[in-house]
Amino acid sequence: MKKELAKNYDPQGIENRLYSKWEEKKYFHAEVDETKKPFTIVIPPPNITGQLHMGHALDNTMQDILIRYKRMEGYNALWQPGTDHASIATEVKVINELKKQGITKADLGRDGFLEKCWDWRKEYGGRIVKQLKKLGSSCDWDRERFTMDEGCNKAVTEVFVKMHEKGYIYKGKRMVNWCPVCKTSISDAEVEYKEQASHFWHIKYPLIEDDGSVSTTKFLEFATTRPETMLGDTAVAVNPEDPRYKDYIGKNVMLPIINRPIPVVGDEHADMEFGTGVVKITPGHDPNDFEVGKRHNLEVINVLNDDATINEKGGKFQGMDRYEARKLIVEELDSMGLLVSIEDMTHNVGTHDRCGETVEPMVKDQWFVKMDELIKPAVKAIEDGEIQLIPKSMEKTYFNWTNNIKDWCISRQLWWGHRIPAWYCDECGEIVVAKEAPTVCPKCGCQHLTHDPDTLDTWFSSALWPFETLGWPEITEDLKYFYPTDVLVTGYDIIFFWVIRMIFSGFEQMGEKPFKTVLFHGLVRDSQGRKMSKSLGNGIDPLEIIDQYGADALRLTLITGNAPGNDMRFYIERVENSRNFANKVWNASRFIMMNMGEDEESAINKPAPAGLEPVDHWILSKLNNTIKEITENMDKFEMGIAVQKVYDFIWEEFCDWYIEMVKPRLYNSDNKVSRDAAMWTLQTVLIDSLKLLHPFMPFITEEIFCTMQDEEESIMISSWPVYKDEWNFADDEKSIETIKEAVRGIRNVRTQMNVAPSRKAKVFVVSDNDEMLDIFRTGKLFFESLAYANESVCQKDKEGIADDAVSVVLPGCNIYIPFAELVDIKAEIERLNKEKGKLEGELKRSKAMLSNEKFLSKAPEAKINEEKEKQAKYQQQYDQIVERLEQLNK
């Protein structure tokens, strides 16, 4: 029975059905198969707190395009999925839910709170997975992993213990970024710098004279943006080369309010060219000052509690919020005559990217990863090209970070996450790092050991993602076959969080790179170029777009014009264009299927019939070149360029030209050979076009493919089209392109003359080149149809062609159309005379108005200018009509 597509394309009616089919058939699943070459992508695991946003949609569309392409190319393609436990984000969500019930984290205790977190994960953790399926993501869901599942826990513990034994992980007091709201340390990569209005407070500290008295005339002046940190100052610094202050080095100044003498040290950190050349040194609350403190053996004083209130080291300000204390300190300095001035300024302030709170640099006892040796293989891999970054410009960002690498703070003061495998002896304080809880202290024999309460940075576990998801630390068959992975697709904004950490972790744990290529994409911005955010209210929900336009339309919109590393703007108009393209493909396919005979089988695997005409050769040759170019683009990860070529070929060459060219043959039942050749070509080109389009628009291509033929059960497991030497018809391509150029020229002339398509005209092709004339004779049937010609005549000279014929000039030939056949001269003269009369009336009215002194003196200038513009326009139209009438009357 002949199958047909529905009259209208309805994505909602097919997408869920097709995705269920793909899952049931296990098309996404990959097993070790030594007869095939593997191709592996690991998904950047979305947070279990997450909901699909445009960044996710772009990232996963790009991965799905690559995995579908490689699957069709015959690779054993694995797209490894999973989700991330997202320590801070999940804790915040769960704490907020508890608040609604009047419960605190402390009320539940650690075990009770973790139970609530696991409940959260059960309820919401799969939400984003369902949303990724709506997008069409062909992940191997049978292999789905979670960063806190049993296997990942084992991997994390293995790495921590192993790296501690090698001396790469240590505990120590160092400067960290502290979030006073989340009450945890965060890494440098999690600090987001935001512009804030603030002040420079210019303050002076009095010099202490040699006799121990506090000078009333000698001061060292400096400027600070954080006056409250003066409570922890342990020095002021000047540059040792600065002639203004050389004599001050080694002396002391009095720290006001606290009344503590602090030294003046000579250090290059003090910039002679900036401000006064003097800086206050607070080793407990500034990373640069911390380094100065180490060089000069200065005391480190922390004056803040974990919630950013002043602690007991802050004297009378103890218990105050940092900003409240700041205000009172400034007032007191002013009353003491030590506040020189206040200068308004704007500067970038570090904030926590999760909660937005201003971060406090603080010295804390934390766990760190020593980075100086670990980072070396990660640097060399990029330098040697072992790992390719696309675009290459990302290398500069990469090296800028690796060249200024700091030890990585990996401990977090949270409960949800991988607990640090370290225990402390209650008697002697010995730290025991082990895979299992120790029962006795190896140093003193005490049997009472306390488990470290901290958890690991979320990125510590996700740094292991490419190999822990394949079974590591066990050396599984999956690991040996699918590792290293091939491509990592990710946003440029997490190069530090994740990409670099995976690279050095891969080399350290596996002795090999984790992936061969990193493909960076930009951000999806709104139509005004702004970053999408809750605060701006400019976010667009991908699921709403899918519900309205279909997943294919969203995917096509996101990838069209996409270039690696570049941000893109999102316009609804572009989604509508993508939907229109889907309709175009659907309608063209439906047209072809409606013209297939009742018993006619698909041409999918049938050899080319006899009777292929030059126009058939032309479209096959164009398709052939398109296949070659798109394959090259895909192999270079130029997906935006590739999809544009597919789009242009299907819309313009296939739908707008070839289908129109062969319609007369389809309707001509007298020449079965020609009709069969046209039908075979239509089906063949459509099938290969659908295959080229499938990675980008999987749903519509699957529905058409499976409706059109029965030989293959799914397009996603069909073969990717390949270039065929036998489809190289360069001469026929050149011939048909000549006819296309002639048709375009004729249509342009007719448009300029306002000739309706329904008005047919005789067309003369004049050339002294026999080959050129043969082109038009051979293509006579479709040339006449496309050129709105009732007859076409090929001849070597202008004999018999009227002098008033309009012409189209092409290389090697001229096209002539008798003017009288394009235009009914009598009717046109009558129409133009009527138009001329109207314009004469308008010109008379306009001239009268512009010569009226009353109007000119009272009317607004804009109104006068508007009338002048009208008059100029009317005059131009009038002159053109007069000229046209003269031509017609001849």
CATH number at residue 603: 1.10.730.10
Q: Is position 310 within any domain?
A: yes
Both 580 and 697 in one domain: the answer is yes
Residues of the domain holding 658: 551-728
Q: Is position 634 within any domain?
A: yes
Both 831 and 819 in one domain: the answer is no
CATH number at residue 217: 3.90.740.10
- What pLDDT is attached to residue 690? 98
Both 205 and 153 in one domain: the answer is no
Both 742 and 819 in one domain: the answer is yes
Sheet holding 485-491, edge to edge: 76-80, 38-42, 485-491, 515-521, 388-390
The mean-pLDDT minimum among 485-489, 583-587, 717-721, 843-847 falls in: 843-847
- Asked if 719 contacts 70 with a C-beta cutoff of 8 angstroms, the reply is no
Non-local (6+) Cβ contacts of 670 within 8 A are none
Burial of residue 664 (CB within 10 Å: 0-12, 13-18, 19+) is middle
Percent of the chain with pLDDT over 70: 99
Amino acid identity of residue 315, one-letter, is: G
Mean pLDDT for 619-629 is: 97
Both 630 and 714 in one domain: the answer is yes
Of 119, 110, 103, 128, the C-alpha closest to 47 is: 128
- Asked if 421 contacts 394 with a C-beta cutoff of 8 angstroms, the reply is no
- Asked if 131 contacts 81 with a C-beta cutoff of 8 angstroms, the reply is no
- Asked if 459 contacts 497 with a C-beta cutoff of 8 angstroms, the reply is yes
Q: Is position 461 within any domain?
A: no
Q: Which two tokens stand for residue 616?
A: 């058939």
Distance CA(205)–CA(256), nearest Å, equals: 7
Indicate the helix (H) or strand (E) that contains 365: strand 360-369
Dihedrals phi, psi of 34, to nearest 5 degrees = -65, -15
Both 698 and 644 in one domain: the answer is yes
Q: Is position 190 within any domain?
A: no
Mean pLDDT for 429-445 is: 94
- Asked if 387 contacts 513 with a C-beta cutoff of 8 angstroms, the reply is yes
Distance CA(641)–CA(99), nearest Å, equals: 50
What pLDDT, in 10s, does the model give residues 714-744? 999 999 999 999 999 999 999 999 999 999 9
β-strand pairing of 806-810 with 813-817: antiparallel
Query: In a 3-state reduction of DSSP, which class is residue 80?
Result: strand
- Asked if 687 contacts 542 with a C-beta cutoff of 8 angstroms, the reply is no
Where a domain ends, among 728, 745, 779? 728
The mean-pLDDT minimum among 219-223, 306-310, 521-525, 613-617 falls in: 521-525
125 versus 249: the higher-pLDDT residue is 249
What pLDDT, in 10s, does the model give residues 153-172? 999 999 999 999 999 999 99
Both 560 and 651 in one domain: the answer is yes
Q: Is position 125 within any domain?
A: yes
Per residue in 199-229, is it b (16+ CB within 10 Å) or e — as a string?
A: bbbbbbbbbbeeeeebeeeebbbbbbebbbb
Q: Is position 169 within any domain?
A: no
Q: How many domains does the chain have?
A: 6
Across 109-259, where does the E strand assignment appear?
A: 145-146, 169-179, 184-186, 191-208, 214-224, 235-238, 252-255
Of 27, 125, 127, 35, the C-alpha closest to 78 is: 27
Query: How would residue 600 be classed by pLDDT, with cut points 50, 70 and 90?
Result: low
Distance CA(598)–CA(55), nearest Å, equals: 47
CATH number at residue 815: 3.30.2320
Please tell me the number of Cα atoms within 13 Å of 688 on its side-chain side: 25
Both 658 and 758 in one domain: the answer is no
Both 502 and 577 in one domain: the answer is no
Where a domain ends, among 514, 530, 549? 549
Task: Let me know the angle formed at the C-alpha of 18 by 15 and 22, rounded to the nearest 5 degrees.
Answer: 135
Kindly state the DSSP code that residue 170 receives in the 8-state scheme. Answer: E
Amino acid identity of residue 170, one-letter, is: Y
What pLDDT, in 10s, does the model give residues 799-853? 888 877 888 888 888 899 888 788 777 776 777 788 889 989 999 998 998 888 8
* Helix pair angle (672-693, 698-708), 10° resolution: 150
Where a domain ends, among 453, 478, 500? 453
Both 605 and 628 in one domain: the answer is yes
Q: Is position 353 within any domain?
A: no
Both 311 and 205 in one domain: the answer is yes
Q: What's the mean pLDDT when you consider all of the chain? A: 92
Is 218 part of any known ligand binding site?
no
Both 93 and 77 in one domain: the answer is yes
- Asked if 519 contacts 486 with a C-beta cutoff of 8 angstroms, the reply is no
- What pLDDT is attached to residue 76? 98
Q: Is the pLDDT of residue 534 over 70?
A: no
Q: Is position 336 within any domain?
A: yes
**Alpha helices for 354-457 (secondary structure H):** 375-383, 394-402
